[in-house]
Structure 1
């Protein structure tokens, strides 16, 4: 007979469907709730009482519940060590990507620093450019974007001058990106904006790996794109960018 102790590890979040799939019926769930062996984190979502939840508990629990989800964008870049180029001193919400619609409770669960479910996804459903990072006592695997993918994810959402300046500072520290992986990712990406802006940032940074990217194999679309209003048009990638970066005169924004 299935029991709570044999099926549910501390730190995991599950719903009634998951518990029922392991032989724990609703009446038994209700008993565990009354007895304090199980607690409701949010309506319909349960855990064993224990230490405060970490955001990684939530992400791994989503995979346990059958969701295809990974940590990307600025969160992945922070994990890979690029956060010191930002110097923002503020807590960034955890950026999650999924080809599925994630449950509403993800953004309401109250686990700090909170979650942002990314609506713009610059890649089709490909697994390229990701890695698994073990978390917790049981080394639960959390999927993260590698820096190459995370930079393109970041470029897909940039809308302001300040965001471009911050991305430019991070790109200056990205001397070790792998052009072979970037080539695959750029050829696979469906976001014209992300590809053009990433390549512009890469060219501006002047790293050696940029010269190994074959632009002729990347679909960059046609026509001009305005990234920031009042910017200067880059004649190669046909995007408007902050004049001070385009002309090589960026000053500190901090």
Structure 2
């Protein structure tokens, strides 16, 4: 039976993170994950995880100056010190709450040097991850939601993973982003499965719950199970005003 993780960046986003963790448990999720938890004291999250027994699958490195359009720092030339500080912060926070993985965000750039900058920062991140028992994730984002984002598709991401050559570096496979950019979600899953460290999903194209849209998630989830995936899949969709009202799919899909 497929297990699911609630992404608290979108689900119960109107609540504090500890309260959202408890809501995810009450709704029947098997795990949780988040985006940028840094404004919440780590002991508060750790206590909520302990109370619920839910694992925290992952969190993101900071985006930088969001008001200026930044969406990650780790592929930006001249920002290497800030990028490494963001990675260190994420590693420390993940350790404090017992999170399993860190999504290292590349950023918006068309600089020809971005590839080498990103690879260098990922090598530093994977060295830290190895010492702390963490997985480092990288995620291609679609051009509609994240125009100009450096990491654009699975082929580029897999090439970087292979170049870095670290066992702790994996692909965050978001079915929504892949569906928007590459189209063939099941074909991509099969092609890159050995590189995947986490899987997320939302309807295509509106990023809502997975019970409608262009992707047949009953078929996708069945394929993932057939391929041998055993970890929770991340529900990273936009639920509208009421998360609880959006959860019909959780026990029916």
**TM-score (structure 1 length as normaliser):** 0.27
* Pair member with larger Rg: 1
